[in-house]
Amino acid sequence: MSGTAFRDASIVVIDTSRTSIHAVLGLGELLPTPSVEIQARVGLRRASYEQLNSNGANGSAQPAASTSSTMSITPSASAKVNDYLVGAQLDNALVEGEDIVVWWPFAEGDVSDWTQAEALWKHTLFSLLHLRRTQNESPVLLTVPPSLSRTSLSVLAQLFFERFNVAAFTLLLRPVAQIYAGNALSGVVVDIGEEYTDVNVLYDGFLVRECTESVKLGMKDCREHLASLLRTNQTVMTAISPPEAPLSDKQTDSALVSLISHLLSTSLIKPPTAIGTTIVTDEPEDGVTDIAAIVLAGKEKAVIENNMKKRANAKATAAEQAKMREIEAMDLVEIKDWEWDGKAREVVVGRERHRFCEPLFDPKVAKKDTKTDLWSLQEVIGAAVQRADIEQRQYVWGGLFVTGEFAKYIKGMGTSLQTRLESFILSQPDAHNDIQPRNIRVLKIPDYFAEYREKGDGLAAFLGAGIVGKIAFHDPNGNNFVSKGEYAAKGPPAIIEMSASLL
């Protein structure tokens, strides 16, 4: 038995994805959003890397896949935790153009280098959350990918107790945290990240491991696809690289990446439905406004902006109104608040921006260098669910939840996938009538989590971890975490039997 209950203010939650780390110290009445967010990457100045390699033997660690343009190189076995640049220090070095070797130790859904991982978590705990190692009274909940081995889970416990001196420790599988955030116990979680999309099936709160799938498709493919489409738009290209001051190819690439980031951050990209139209948000009928519903849904800002737009349109001249109707009919957007290379830019972007998601639905457009055919996202999801027991499938299809980096910027992807997945629930000849799935229900983070209304569903893993952390560390007899005393008595393997989602 753990024997100690912890105060909300002392609890630390850390969510580690393939490419980012989110963390917070303290869980209040309203579960907070992360106070810390850093990219899960480390770096060494090339001179330091070469010096370390010349002083030590070749490293035996496996290469870590990089999601940046920096070449991935085998980590040095002689590199120490404090040798690595992390967080703002690394970001600034890269912005200043220093020659940096970059690694992403979690990019492949595992831990490719434990020293690099330690450098990231150490920076998070002591530099960003300002804990003190010698007087660390905080229990820590850490989310982990389902692909980690039992040996790796034990190493995590050893690292956090012996190197970080945590007061207590527990682990939570990321897909379990995500489904909890969607207010469900069963479902299929689709986590769309930078380079990978992970699909996990859950039933009654537990991961169905034989149904786990990963496909190398993500935000990077979508950005590259949209950039290639924008290159064919002469209006966009003239605004970015005018004939009187043309940009180099490298500068043009950088400008297009910046423009796409602006389109994403300002919610100007919508996912297509199965028939190619875009999904739009609901607007109240003219003259009828349900104030209570608007406040509950957190749409006050959108309604205010919509009303201001209507008033502006009413004051416009006939010529201006005609121009606005033309722009609306062609689904054009005039962007006047985009800055690149220190200058404000104006550009008009058409409906090709809504084709951002195409590589997920049709991987052929991503133009990947691969000898094998990639499955579309709907095919991956369908195949994963089909491997679940027949009796489980109706419950799994009752909770389709799209999350990950993608969901921070694109809303409505669950509905877009819903229509593409209908054929999978209708093609089950082995299912009896009483267990035949009738439909697919799309999940989202409930509106009563007020802090998450503007964040979308992209922070589901962090929210779910906060929910579990608040419960687990309050119940000293629940066997949901390992205390210092239990770690001393049982050793690192105790983490496996005392973290509920790992059973």
Shared domain for 275 and 413, answered yes or no, is no
Shared domain for 136 and 63, answered yes or no, is no
Shared domain for 396 and 334, answered yes or no, is no
Say if CB 38 and CB 87 are below 8 A apart. yes
Q: Is 55 helix (H, G, I), strand (E, B) or coil?
A: helix
Shared domain for 310 and 237, answered yes or no, is yes
Tokens of 481: 């975490």
Tokens of 119: 């450098």
What pLDDT does residue 68 have?
41
Count of structural domains within the chain: 4
Q: Please report, for residues 141, 143, 452, 473, 495, the alpha-carbon distance to residue 25 in angstroms, rounded to integers and kept in the order given.
A: 11, 15, 17, 14, 21
**441 occurs within a structural domain:** no
The DSSP secondary-structure symbol of 335 reads E
**4 occurs within a structural domain:** yes
DSSP result, 194-233:
SS-EEEEEEETTEE-GGG-EEES--HHHHHHHHHHHHHT-
Say if CB 75 and CB 58 are below 8 A apart. no
Beta-carbon contacts of 187 under 8 Å, excluding residues fewer than 6 positions away, are 179, 201, 202, 395, 396, 398, 399, 400, 401, 443
pLDDT higher than threshold 50 for residue 117: yes
Shared domain for 327 and 298, answered yes or no, is yes
Q: Quick: pLDDT tens for 172-190.
A: 999 999 999 999 999 999 9
**25 occurs within a structural domain:** yes
Ranking 44-58, 101-115, 228-242, 347-361 by mean pLDDT, the lowest is: 44-58
What's the pLDDT band for 77 if we cut at 50, 70, 90? confident
Distance separating alpha carbons of residues 370 and 229, to the nearest angstrom: 22
Mean pLDDT, to the nearest integer, of 59-63?
A: 39
Shared domain for 7 and 136, answered yes or no, is yes
Shared domain for 196 and 173, answered yes or no, is no
Instruction: Provide the mean pLDDT of the chain.
Output: 85
Parallel/antiparallel/unpaired status of strands 213-215 and 197-203: antiparallel
Q: Which of 174, 173, 181, 145 is nearest to 443 (CA)?
A: 181
Q: What are phi and psi of 94, to 5 degrees?
A: -70, -40
Say if CB 206 and CB 502 are below 8 A apart. no
Mean pLDDT, to the nearest integer, of 375-398?
A: 94
Shared domain for 157 and 26, answered yes or no, is yes
Q: What are phi and psi of 364, to 5 degrees?
A: -60, -30
Q: Which of 465, 493, 495, 471 is nearest to 483 (CA)?
A: 495
pLDDT higher than threshold 60 for residue 284: no
Tokens of 25: 């110290």
Shared domain for 336 and 236, answered yes or no, is yes
**379 occurs within a structural domain:** yes
**303 occurs within a structural domain:** yes
Domain that residue 63 falls in: 41-104
Amino acid at 35: S
Shared domain for 140 and 14, answered yes or no, is yes
Most confident of 266-280, 291-305, 376-390: 376-390
Q: Quick: pLDDT tens for 102-113.
A: 999 999 999 999
Q: Quick: pLDDT tens for 451-490.
A: 898 777 999 999 999 999 999 998 877 789 999 999 999 9
What's the pLDDT band for 347 if we cut at 50, 70, 90? very high
* pTM for the full predicted model: 0.85
pLDDT higher than threshold 60 for residue 17: yes
Distance separating alpha carbons of residues 194 and 344, to the nearest angstrom: 28
At 191, which CATH number? 3.30.420.40
**402 occurs within a structural domain:** yes
What is the separation of C-alpha 33 from the centre of its chain, rounded to a whole number of angstroms? 14
Shared domain for 28 and 150, answered yes or no, is yes
Shared domain for 86 and 202, answered yes or no, is no
Higher pLDDT, 99 or 330: 99
Classify residue 432 by burial, with Cβ atoms within 10 Å: 0-12, 13-18, 19+.
exposed
What pLDDT does residue 319 have?
67
Mean pLDDT, to the nearest integer, of 143-164?
A: 96
**450 occurs within a structural domain:** no
**123 occurs within a structural domain:** no
